Amino acid sequence: MKIEELKRIREQTAEEMVLGEGKARFQIRIAMGTSGIAVGSRAVRKAFLDEVDKRSLSGVLVMETGERGWASCEPVAEVRELGKESVFYSCLTIDKVRRIVDEHIVGGVPVSDYQIHPAG
């Protein structure tokens, strides 16, 4: 990891501590269990952070969560929008992240092509 990336992570963490108190409109939770990491969850997390930063989006919190138990669907992300049900996305790539940010986070319409519906 480069020093610039570490500094950005530190700044993001500081923002998360403020936004984590219910002020974020969106929470994007990336599953970072071993199966997710093995198939690219780190790159997906970085892509979400880069898109949020590039578009100067406020009220969007990108964070990590543990294993979801969906190894065959990894990388997985959960998008929580204030006042709405969570949307889960599976088999994510950097291009899919860009589309999710564009259509769901910015445009307000979940991307049904990538959704997974948890049992229960």
Please check the confidence at residue 31 and state whether its pLDDT lies above 70: yes
Q: How confident is the model at residue 14 (pLDDT cuts 50, 70, 90)?
A: low
Could you tell me the residue range of the domain that residue 102 belongs to? 3-116
Q: Residue 112: which CATH number?
A: 3.40.30.10
The torsion region of residue 24 among left (phi > 0), alpha (psi -120 to 50) and beta comes to beta
pLDDT of residue 13: 67
- pLDDT score, position 17: 52
What's the pTM? 0.78
* 119 pLDDT tier (thresholds 50, 70, 90): low
In this predicted model, what pLDDT tens digit does every residue of 34-49 receive, in sequence order?
988 999 999 999 999 9
Summarize the confidence of residues 8-17 as an average pLDDT: 66
Query: What is the pLDDT at residue 72?
Result: 84
Number of domains in the chain: 1
